[in-house]
Amino acid sequence: MECATDVFLEGFERILADAAATGRRLTRDEIESRRALGARAAEAGHGWRALVRAHLAAGSRNRPVPAGPDTVLAVIEQAVDAFADGYERAQRLVIRKEEAARREFIDDLLHGRGDPGHLAARCERFGLRLSRAHAVAVAEGPEKYDETDPAPRQVAGELFARFENRRILFTTKDGRMVCIAPGDQDDVLAHFARLAHAATGVGQVAVGRPRQGAVGIGHSYEEALNALDVAQRMGLDDPLLRAADLLVFPVLARDRQALVDLVHTTLGPLEQARGGAKPLLDTLTVYFDTGCVAAAAARHLSLSVRALTYRLARIRTLTGSDPTDPAHRYALQTAVIGARLLDWPNRPL
pLDDT value at residue 199: 87
Considering the chain, tell me which residue range(s) the CATH 1.10.10.2840 domain(s) occupy.
250-342
Instruction: Identify the band that residue 114 occupies on the pLDDT scale cut at 50, 70 and 90.
Output: low
Q: Taking residues 227-237, report their average pLDDT.
A: 86
Q: Taking residues 308-326, report their average pLDDT.
A: 91
147 C-beta neighbours (distance < 10 Å), count:
14
The string of DSSP codes covering 238-277 is: -SEEEGGGGTHHHHHHHSHHHHHHHHHHHHGGGGGSTT-S
What is the overall mean pLDDT for the chain? 86
pLDDT value at residue 177: 94
Sequence-ordered list of residues with C-beta below 8 angstroms from that of 279, at least 6 positions apart, any chain: 273, 311
3-state helix, strand, coil split of the chain in percent (to 5) is 65, 10, 25
DSSP 8-state code for residue 182: E
**CATH architecture for the domain at 250-342:** Orthogonal Bundle (1.10)
Sequence-ordered list of residues with C-beta below 8 angstroms from that of 31, at least 6 positions apart, any chain: 78, 82
247 C-beta neighbours (distance < 10 Å), count:
13
Considering the chain, tell me which residue range(s) the CATH 3.30.70.270 domain(s) occupy.
125-246
Render pLDDT for 281-294 as a digit per residue (tens, 0 to 9).
999 999 998 999 99
pTM of this prediction exceeds 0.95: no
pLDDT > 80? residue 113: no
pLDDT value at residue 1: 42
Render pLDDT for 144-194 as a digit per residue (tens, 0 to 9).
988 788 899 999 999 988 997 788 889 899 999 999 999 999 999 999 999
Q: Taking residues 318-324, report their average pLDDT.
A: 91
Q: Which CATH class is domain 125-246?
A: alpha beta
